[in-house]
Amino acid sequence: MRRAVGALLRKELRLELRAPQSVPAMALFSVTTLVLFHFALQRGEVDGDLAAGVLCVTLLFAAMLGVSRLFVADREEGGLDGFLLAPVDRTALLVAKAVALGAFLVAVECVLVPAFVFLLLGPALDAAAFARLALVLLLVDAGVAVVGTLVGAIAVQTRARDLLVPLLALPLLMPVVIALAKATTPLFLAAGAGSLPVRWLGILALYDLVFGLLAYGLFDFLVED
């Protein structure tokens, strides 16, 4: 299975490097959303829970673009049918797609977070605050990647996949939204970065584990149908 995952992951990354689609679109969308927030809120700076909410919504909506495109090339060019005919474990595709989507999210956040700090965030973040924020975002990325891969596999079978992805993914990701907002609020306080709430990190980790096991159990049936 390890070799199959490696081959599939290399294919995903090479496709994105040769003909960039998902990452540039997600990054541009996230920066555009931040600009809209900048003018719509009519505030030069935000902090605390408002800053956490802006970052959370921007990241989540940008992720929907990546999820909606995750299986499209495989479906349209016959790659999915070829994979199903190969004598490999079906969950190799789940792992490869989830890791690829997670890598895309990390790449987007390398653009999103500096743009967020420059355009909207009032309090300055030191190195420790950035490290804590990175830890939260990694746990969030894992959850979004797993759920996004599961939803993408369902949506690609339908004609209305661009509509179905947010309708399915956003309710499932509601715990991630809450945990991300709660965990990052202390980091964006005007009085200075506060301590990271450990219980919300635990909730994110538990969410990742539960949905990882759920995706592992269901993915075979989704791709076969």
Tens-place pLDDT, residues 167-201:
899 999 999 999 999 998 888 886 566 677 788 99
pLDDT tens digits along 103-121: 999 999 999 999 998 888 8
**pLDDT at site 144:** 95
Say yes or no to pLDDT of 96 above 80. yes
pLDDT above 60 (res 225): no
- C-alpha 195/C-alpha 176 separation (Å) is 19
What pLDDT is recorded for position 148?
A: 92
The structure tokens listed for 23 are 């990452």
Query: Which pLDDT value is given to residue 125?
Result: 80
* pLDDT level of residue 224 (50, 70, 90 thresholds): low
What is the pLDDT confidence band of residue 145, given thresholds at 50, 70 and 90?
very high
Report the first-to-last Cα separation within the chain, whole angstroms: 21
**Residues 6 or more apart whose Cβ sits within 8 Å of residue 69:** 21, 22, 25
Pairwise CA distance, residues 194 & 153, whole Å: 39
DSSP string, 200-215: HHHHHHHHHHHHHHHH
Instruction: Write out the two tokens for 196.
Output: 């990271």
Quick one: pLDDT at residue 220? 74
Q: What's the confidence (pLDDT) of residue 194?
A: 61
| Domain coordinates in residue numbering, the chain | 2-224
User: With contact defined as beta carbons under 8 Å apart, do 60 and 52 qualify?
Assistant: no
pLDDT at res. 22? 85
Tell me if residue 10 falls in helix, strand or coil.
helix
Among 24-28, 97-101, 150-154, the minimum mean pLDDT is found in 150-154
pTM score > 0.85 for this model? yes
**Phi-psi region for residue 42, left (φ > 0), alpha (ψ -120 to 50) or beta?**
left
> What size, in residues, is the chain?
225
Q: What is the pLDDT of residue 20?
A: 80
d(CA 35, CA 30): 9
In angstroms, how far is CA 169 from the centroid of its own chain? 11
pLDDT in tens, 4-51: 777 777 877 787 788 788 899 999 999 999 999 988 888 778 888 898
Q: Lowest-confidence range among 60-69, 83-92, 192-201?
A: 83-92
pLDDT at 30: 94
The yes-or-no verdict on residue 69 having pLDDT over 90 is no
DSSP secondary structure, 55-101, as one string: HHHHHHHHHHHHHHTTTHHHHHTTHHHHHHHSSS-THHHHHHHHHHH
What percentage of the chain exceeds 90 in pLDDT? 38
| Cα atoms found within 13 Å of the Cα of residue 127, Cβ hemisphere only | 0
Residue type present at position 48: G
Q: Are 78 and 131 in contact (CB under 8 A)?
A: no
Full DSSP string of 153-211:
HHHTTSTTHHHHHHHHHHHHTHHHHHHHHHHHGGGG-TT------HHHHHHHHHHHHHH
